[in-house]
Amino acid sequence: AQSVTQLGSHVSVSEGALVLLRCNYSSSVPPYLFWYVQYPNQGLQLLLKYTSAATLVKGINGFEAEFKKSETSFHLTKPSAHMSDAAEYFCAVSETGGSYIPTFGRGTSLIVHP
């Protein structure tokens, strides 16, 4: 069984500040991990994914995430927030060797204020 917990339904940062969105997962087998971004009235867009290669994964728009097996975490970071980063962010896990059907977290709304 697999599950995802995203801590904090809302995260508020100032423009230019560090962004940290937290994600913890559980999986009975080595996981694939994903971060998606959703802008209002749009579908989800993949930011980055971990598939058992490098533990530090770089994605689009300056985001990156680090897979920490010991902490079962896959937190998303960005050094400097832009106003355009305001959106809903979803962490997801799927199990290797399975059907690749992802389980999504409940999402974290990132608010960026001037």
In whole angstroms, what is the distance from residue 37 CA to residue 108 CA? 10
105 binds another protein (CB under 8 A): yes
Among 3, 14, 26, 45, binds another protein (CB under 8 A): 45
Is residue 77 within 8 A of residue 17, CB to CB? The reply is no
Query: By CB under 8 A, which span of 19-27, 65-73, 77-85, 92-100 interacts with another protein?
Result: 92-100
Q: Count Cβ atoms below 10 Å from residue 4 Cβ, excluding itself.
A: 22
| Residues of this chain, 55-84, that bind another protein according to CB under 8 A | none
Is residue 78 within 8 A of residue 62, CB to CB? The reply is yes
99 binds another protein (CB under 8 A): yes
28 binds another protein (CB under 8 A): no
Is residue 76 within 8 A of residue 89, CB to CB? The reply is yes
Q: Contact positions toward another protein, by CB under 8 A? A: 4, 9, 32, 36, 41-46, 49, 90, 92, 94, 99-107
